[in-house]
Amino acid sequence: MEKALLVGVNLKNGEPFEQSMEELAALSEACDMEVIAVVTQVLPLVNKALYIGPGKVEEVRELAEANDAQVIVFDNALSPSQLRNLQKEIGLPILDRTTLILEIFSTRAKTREAKLQVEVAKLQYMLPRLVGLHEALSRQGGGSGLSNKGSGEKKLELDRRKIEHRLSELRKELEEVSKERETQRKRRAKNGEFQVALVGYTNAGKSTIMNQMVDLYVQDEEKRVLEKDMLFATLETTVRKITGEDKRSFLLSDTVGFISNLPHNLIKAFRSTLEEVKNADLLLQVVDFSDVHYKEHMAVTKETLKELGAAEIPMLIVYNKADLVEGLEFEIPKVSEQAIYMSAKNKEHIQELVRKIFNCAKAGYVDCEMLIPFSEGAAIAYLQKQAIIKEISYESEGTRMVLSLSQADYGRYRKFCVL
């Protein structure tokens, strides 16, 4: 485990600085680092050359040496020149928040799509830094007008070309994967399934909710997703069909968690994965209600959904881990029109959440009566499996059903409706 020294600048600009530093420590731990010291500085503006002041750089260098630190982690994105200058002054590997998040994503990615998207994000982040270094070297050529390309500069140009070529290859691969995902999405939409997406801040409990529903309603161990008390345990979107006792069902998607200052190119790279969010009929915003910063986390989620173009989708707020909050003035689970206070580890609370989801989905169901000829055996079999049958009788003309079914199925079989 690497020993990391964390560095942050408080600009007093209204951003929750302490929360950001706590999150940086959690990100470092998620990257298998041991935080041995934290250095902060209050500045009106960051230092253009070193991000922190020269005196603070010296303090960081001495503290790192005294504590045998192996890496220095900065709370915000560093410019190419800041990165280069800091490494020269301190003499240790320098990471910033963006690099740290990319590193975590890189180690957690499992599916082909996630691995491709992470590589795109990493290369996109590296490219301007290589360009910045290249430009700095070009300026050293002086005013002679002669070419002054050293081996370092030639290597940078070569690296840049390699990265641009690799990015082009990756984008083509991602287009193919995206087409496959879109085909699956259209197939699900055609089937008329009510689609629900779990969204929210990282480590809020989305995967726990998914696994509890799988245990209760799917009962297939292989359908469970990775569930771990750490940031970004889930990177891939997983879709599971949840079927209630009355045969009604919905598709549940577990998505990558959001975080403040999430690198913009990472959101862009994961856009196809997060398309599940845009196509949902209902969003479940999972909130860690026991976290003192939960309101800030909700604000980040709101902003990220807006950026994804999903801000107008109906939402149910799931205040998870409410059992860990002391002094609550109400019993849980507590269900209101737009929220539920609960614990994802309590199966009865999960059942209450599922009932609430079905209530939200009810708007998409149609109650009707049908008389289906015996010759339409396939239609009868399908409706017995997919619809909610309230009454069924067999008459000389065919099978009579009083039922509740999805809008899509109603459109498909409305010709059998009895007026």
Judged by average pLDDT, the poorest of 51-65, 173-187, 222-236 is 222-236
Whether 27 is covered by a domain: the verdict is yes
227 in the same domain as 163: no
Whether 296 is covered by a domain: the verdict is yes
Interatomic CA distance for residues 302 and 200, integer angstroms: 9
CB 75 within 8 A of CB 8: yes
Whether 244 is covered by a domain: the verdict is yes
350 in the same domain as 224: yes
Interatomic CA distance for residues 60 and 48, integer angstroms: 17
Domain end call among 319, 338, 362: 362
Tell me, what's the pLDDT at 51?
95
CATH number of the domain to which 261 belongs: 3.40.50.300
Question: For residue 333, is the peptide bond before it cis, meaning its omega torsion is within 30 degrees of 0?
Answer: yes
Interatomic CA distance for residues 363 and 273, integer angstroms: 27
Whether 91 is covered by a domain: the verdict is yes
278 in the same domain as 251: yes
Does residue 28 carry a pLDDT above 80?
yes
Tell me, what's the pLDDT at 74?
94
What integer is the mean pLDDT of 239-247? 81
82 in the same domain as 62: yes
Tell me, what's the pLDDT at 387?
82
Domain end call among 133, 153, 178: 178
Tell me, what's the pLDDT at 363?
65
219 in the same domain as 162: no
Q: Residue 169: which domain range?
A: 111-178
403 in the same domain as 263: no
Q: How many residues does the chain have?
A: 419
Is pLDDT larger for residue 239 or for residue 206? Answer: 206
Tell me, what's the pLDDT at 241?
87
What integer is the mean pLDDT of 48-60? 95
139 in the same domain as 19: no
Whether 276 is covered by a domain: the verdict is yes
Tell me, what's the pLDDT at 222?
66
Tell me, what's the pLDDT at 158?
78
Tell me, what's the pLDDT at 144?
37
Does residue 87 carry a pLDDT above 90?
no
232 in the same domain as 381: no
Tell me, what's the pLDDT at 113?
78
Q: How many domains does the chain have?
A: 4
Is pLDDT larger for residue 128 or for residue 192? Answer: 128
211 in the same domain as 196: yes
348 in the same domain as 215: yes
3-state secondary structure string, 103-116? HHHHHHCCCHHHHH
CATH number of the domain to which 78 belongs: 3.40.50.11060
Does residue 180 carry a pLDDT above 60?
yes
323 in the same domain as 200: yes
349-365 as b/e: b if 16+ CB within 10 A: bbbbbbebbbebbeebb
Whether 186 is covered by a domain: the verdict is no
Interatomic CA distance for residues 12 and 377, integer angstroms: 70
313 in the same domain as 278: yes
3-state secondary structure string, the chain? CEEEEEEEEECCCCCCHHHHHHHHHHHHHHCCEEEEEEEEEECCCCECCCECCHHHHHHHHHHHHHCCCCEEEECCCCCHHHHHHHHHHHCCCEEEHHHHHHHHHHHHCCCHHHHHHHHHHHHHHHHHHHHHHHHHHHHCCCCCCCCCCCHHHHHHHHHHHHHHHHHHHHHHHHHHHHHHHHHHHHHHHHCCCEEEEEEEECCCCHHHHHHHHHHHHHCCHHHCCCCCCCCCCCCCCEEEEEECCCCCEEEEEECCCECCCCCHHHHHHCCCCCHHHHCCCEEEEEEECCCCCHHHHHHHHHHHHHHHCCCCCCEEEEEECHHHCCCCCCCCCEECCCEEECCCCCHHHHHHHHHHHHHHHHHHEEEEEEEECCCCHHHHHHHHHHCEEEEEEEECCEEEEEEEEEHHHHHHHHHHECC
Whether 187 is covered by a domain: the verdict is no
Whether 344 is covered by a domain: the verdict is yes
Domain end call among 56, 83, 105: 105
Does residue 220 carry a pLDDT above 80?
no
Going by C-alpha positions, the residue among 313, 201, 196 that lies closest to residue 253 is: 196
CATH number of the domain to which 376 belongs: 3.30.70
